[in-house]
Structure 1
Amino acid sequence: MKRPDAGALTRLASLRMSLTGTPEPDVRRLLELPAPTEPADASRAEERLVCAALAAGLTLPRAHLAAAVRTSLARLEEQHPGKLVEVRIPPFGAVQIGMVGVASAHTRGTPPNVVETDAATWLLLVSRHLSWHDARADHRVRASGAHADLGDLLA
């Protein structure tokens, strides 16, 4: 993550309190872990907890969705530097990434390869609770361009 999110510790504490008593096993398992004390660790913990709650069908406040999306996009951008594909999760964020083995001559503006989806779908994809194939088949992801298939990257 580029810089620690100063509000992550407070948001995580609030999220943990709101999910206390949830019967979902994946959520309970994450709640049993010790709470992080550093903002960067809290951001990652919040992302994991949000993803587990979404996979369990729980509804979460917008602030938690936004933070989890931004954390996941920052990690994606860090792990896959480049400007070949733009990944958009409106209204929370967008990043440009590269793909292994694919050279990119793109230098300005929006790349010719664009992936766009909503926050819940994105978080289910990055947490592997939803496959790229199923998301595409259900029209939950819009992808255009020859290199806009993130299936292998998210598998």
Structure 2
Amino acid sequence: MLSQITPCLWFDGQADEAAKFYTSLFKDGKVTRTQYYGEAGKEIHGQEPGSVLTVEFELNGQNFVAMNGGPLFKFNEAISFQIECEDQEELNHYWQKLSDGGDPAKQQCGWLGDKYGVSWQVVPKVLGGMLSDPDTAKSQRAFTALMGMKKIDIAALKTAYEG
């Protein structure tokens, strides 16, 4: 029996907004269901009946849940979502859209923080092969180049890798 793992993202009132933002960035993004708080449990959760509880959405076949859980928890860099890009145009698209309004201090080696505090890694598909190349001179040149980048420049990475 196969099980599916669905990341649940905790927001403080922005679950619907965030889900719509993320689904607008991915060509196969879509909101699949929205659930609302009712009267039940109001004395515990404190949310207004009829306000958004969860938004289920999909990005390129991966299911997510955005939940309005309140101000108790915040995102940090310990968890991130990696987007593997085919080319520089695709990489630039995700980098620009996700970093707009985000935290510039979180931008390093393709890693960025978006305006909601969620961490993303926007990387080229070729990166893994470069960094794991058995020719350590090539892999180390690629790694050194990567360490000096915020948004990854695929051409510069390839130039470094090839020496």
TM-score over 0.5 for the pair: no
Q: Which TM-score applies when normalising by structure 1?
A: 0.31
More helix as a share of residues: 1
Q: Which TM-score applies when normalising by structure 2?
A: 0.30
